[in-house]
A and B are shown apart, each in its own frame.
Chain A
Amino acid sequence: MTWTLLYLRARRVPLALAAAVGGGAVVWGLCLAFAEDPDVAPTVVVLTVVLMVAALAPTLAGPDENLERTGSLRWPWRRAAHLLAGLAVVLVVLLATLPTEARFGPAALVTRDAAGLLGLTALCATVFGAARSWFLPLGWTTVAALYPQQGTWGAIATWQGQSTDTRAATWTAAVLAVGGLIAYSLAGPARRDPSE
């Protein structure tokens, strides 16, 4: 129990969690106040998912990655658990809005995008470091959510903004999610200077 608390504080999880949940709550509140339709527009749903993923992205690495690796602890399954816990947070918060008057759904869209984006973020953390791991997911998702394309290649390129019955998009998200999970668990985040 103590180790878990220290770990969460080292990764600055309380602040990230507050930002993620708070950001989602703000968007939900705005939709509740100003939108006429109880079903929130898919673009807004996708942007809220990427906001929460980007808020959780910096927790993927500690302040000094080199120091953490010198420990004899088995990191891979802990990293995987961290990532899956992040996914659980996003899913719980957004799916909890389904009974309310501003529904962030459908559940399949939220699940697909959250899993795929977390996998992509984890992959970017392996390459660029946790502090910059959200650059690519945020940029790609914004363009994909605002300008979704047709056709198979278009569906793969803008998978975040496709409807839930598009198989190419679902497969792309699944590949990113599983690939990111495995890569991040085994390789860990990139080593960066502590001053970053």
Chain B
Amino acid sequence: MSILGVELRRSAALGAALITVVIGVGALYAATGRWSGGWMALAMTIREYLLLLWPLALMAGAWQGRREHRAKVGELFASTPRPPVRRMLPVLVAMACTLAAAYLVVTVAGLAWIVTTARYLPLVNFVVVTGVGVLSVVAAAWLGLGVGRLLPALVTVPALGVAGVLLVGVGSLVPPDRVAAAISPVHGTSLFHDYQTIDSRVSGAVAIWMVALAVTGLLLFVAAGRRARLAAVVPVLLGLVAATAVVPHDQDVLNWPVDPVARELVCTDDTPTVCVSRVHAGVLDAVTPPARDGLAVLAKLPNAPRAVHEDTGVVGFGEDRATPQEGVVTIDVRIDRRGRLAHPAAVVPEIVAGLGVPYDGKCRNRHAATERAAASWLLGREPRSDVGVVPGMLAEDPELNAEAVTLWQRLRRLPEGEALARVTAVRDALLVCEDPVGILSGSAG
């Protein structure tokens, strides 16, 4: 007869693991768009759902920790020779193994969704982030066991649940960033950009803190006397000091660090070159045909761009906007809920919209109606409102499209060569940031 087997069957371990799997998988699949981008996005989203899973593990530990008090076996067990540490070992192992397995099952369930579409696997980072998640859940269970044995009242379990939610949730928002990153496994897991990862020093700090909590729970759970219980305060303080010492200072590294390898461009072998970032490499085949169609449309202009790259700039990161390359058009690449290219119909309009001239955020001389009329002439169709075509556009001034339609109709009445010359002139004006108004109607010089 195996005592570990008995504990697995008869303790709260299996029930807690089952609830963890149900909640974890349910939360993941309720919103797959948040993590369909790739392996790191999945790992970080599961870590974000520790907001629910960590208090759950804490409550499961507390429920199990009350067992000896609830069953009133203290008298009987006091007459047995086995020391308390060895007696508690099967429960500790059972809770740790089942909850770790539950976390990994949730991860595998998420992997089943993205394994065909995600090409970029940063193995070390993925393993570290998932490993810290497993460690967090085990630490919560052990801490719960210790507190449940220390305070066996029935109210301990829900109180720990709420305390766990507040510690993990509020602990990632309210304290200063350095402390929050060290104590909350949820900090830094909200995805602000697609190349986000978690810095290894932050992972190390969270791991130190979780180990400290686990040791505290262990000490409280096996403690025989008051002095041993008081000693349990020491690991918590040491862990807090050590974790905040390890955490880096830089705000950007704490909150949304960029993985440089994920940002590198992966390109097609043949020309015209289409490049996407490595983390989006799975959609390169999907984005290439419409991107080349867009380049073909722009090829009517002289000195047309010959390559399409993904825009890998990260907004608000504090770095300067990359200087636009000669002959390259940049587009945004988005991933949908299934891990495939989102809005494939928006690729061509996005390429042609600025006539191949990148928007560098400084030039004030751009005129939307003129550009849209010129682009529509190149595409050979009537100007359309951007709402519903360009993702993110919710409303548009109707006069803009009306003006563009007027300009377009005037362009259409001109002979082919003359219209092309005017469109080229608009493009050249945009390149040097001159006012393009009036070029199409011929009124400007």
Give residues in A with beta carbon < 8 Å to B. 15-16, 19, 23, 27, 30, 34-35, 43-44, 47-48, 50-51, 54-55, 57-58, 131, 134, 138, 142-143, 146, 195
Contact = CB atoms under 8 A, between A and B. Distances in A.
A30 B163 CA distance: 12
A146 B162 contact: no
Contact of A19 (B155, B169, B170): B155
Contact of B158 (A34, A35, A54): A54
B174 A58 contact: no
Contacts of B71: 195
Contact of A23 (B52, B162, B170, B174): B162
Given A19-B155, A23-B162, A34-B174, 13 more contacts: A16-B155, A23-B159, A27-B166, A35-B174, A44-B166, A47-B162, A50-B162, A51-B159, A57-B158, A134-B158, A142-B55, A142-B161, A146-B169
B159 A54 contact: yes
Interface in B49-67: 51-52, 55
B154 interface: yes
Interface residues of B, number: 18
Given A142-B165, A143-B52, A55 B174 contact: no
Nearest to B162: A51
Contacts of B153: 15, 19
B165 A47 contact: yes
Contacts of B159: 19, 23, 51, 54-55
9 contacts: A16-B155, A19-B153, A19-B155, A23-B162, A44-B166, A44-B170, A47-B165, A55-B155, A58-B154
Contacts, number: 53
Contacts of A146: 51-52, 165, 169
A166 B20 CA distance: 31
Looking at chain B's contact residues, the main secondary structure is: helix
Nearest to B156: A19
B174 A43 contact: no
A134 B161 CA distance: 11
Contacts of B155: 15-16, 19, 54-55, 58
Nearest to B154: A58
A85 B82 CA distance: 48
A34 B171 CA distance: 11
Contacts of B170: 44
B174 A138 contact: no
Contacts of B154: 58, 131
B166 A138 contact: no
A67 B21 CA distance: 39
Contact of B162 (A35, A58, A138, A143): A138
A143 to B, nearest CB: 7
Interface string B158-185: 1101100110011000110000000000
Contacts of A19: 153, 155, 159
Contacts of A44: 166, 170
Nearest to B56: A139
